[in-house]
Structure 1
Amino acid sequence: DMKIVSNNIFEKSKGNALTSENFADFIRKNEINEFYITGADAIACVKSTVFNMCRENFKVTVISDGITSYDKRKIDEMLKYYEKNGCKIITMNELLNSE
Structure 2
Amino acid sequence: MKKKNKRRNLRMLVISIIGILVLCIGIIALRLIYLSSATKGDSIAKYDSPKSALLILDIQNDTLGISEYGNTEPLIANINTAIEYANDANMEIIYTKQEFKGNPLDSLISGGMYQADSVGADLYNELSIQSDNIFSKLRTDAFSEEHFESYLIKNKINTLYIVGADASACVYKTALGGINRGYRVIVLEDSIFSVKRDLLNTMLEKYQTKGIEITTIKNFNQTQAVDL
In the other structure, the counterpart of 2:146 is 21
In the other structure, the counterpart of 1:47 is 172
Match of 1:90 among 215, 218, 228: 215
Q: CA deviation at 1:72?
A: 2.5
Q: CA deviation at 1:97?
A: 2.3
User: Tell me, which stretches of 5 or more residues in structure 1 are unaligned?
Assistant: none
Q: Map of 1:43-82 to 2, 5 A cutoff?
A: 43-82=168-207
Question: CA-to-partner distance for each residue in 1:25-50, whole Å, 9 max, x for gaps?
Answer: 11111111100011221011111011
Question: CA-to-partner distance for each residue in 1:3-28, whole Å, 9 max, x for gaps?
Answer: 22111111111110101111111111
TM-score, scaled relative to structure 2: 0.42
Give the match's secondary structure for 1:41: coil
TM-score, scaled relative to structure 1: 0.92
Amino acid at match of 1:73: D
List 4+ stretches of structure 1 deviating above 6 A. none
Q: Distance in 2 between matches of 1:8 and 1:32?
A: 14
Give the match's secondary structure for 2:162: strand
Aligned residues: percent identity? 34
User: Tell me, which stretches of 5 or more residues in structure 2 are unaligned?
Assistant: 1-125
Q: Distance in 2 between matches of 1:5 and 1:78?
A: 29
Question: CA-to-partner distance for each residue in 1:30-71, whole Å, 9 max, x for gaps?
Answer: 111100011221011111011111111101100000111112
RMSD of aligned alpha carbons: 1.1
Structure with max Cα Rg? 2
Match of 1:37 among 153, 156, 162: 162
In the other structure, the counterpart of 1:12 is 137
Q: Distance in 1 between matches of 2:212 and 2:197?
A: 20
Q: Number of paired residues?
A: 99
Give the match's secondary structure for 1:11: strand
Give the match's secondary structure for 2:134: coil
Q: Distance in 2 between matches of 1:44 and 1:7?
A: 24
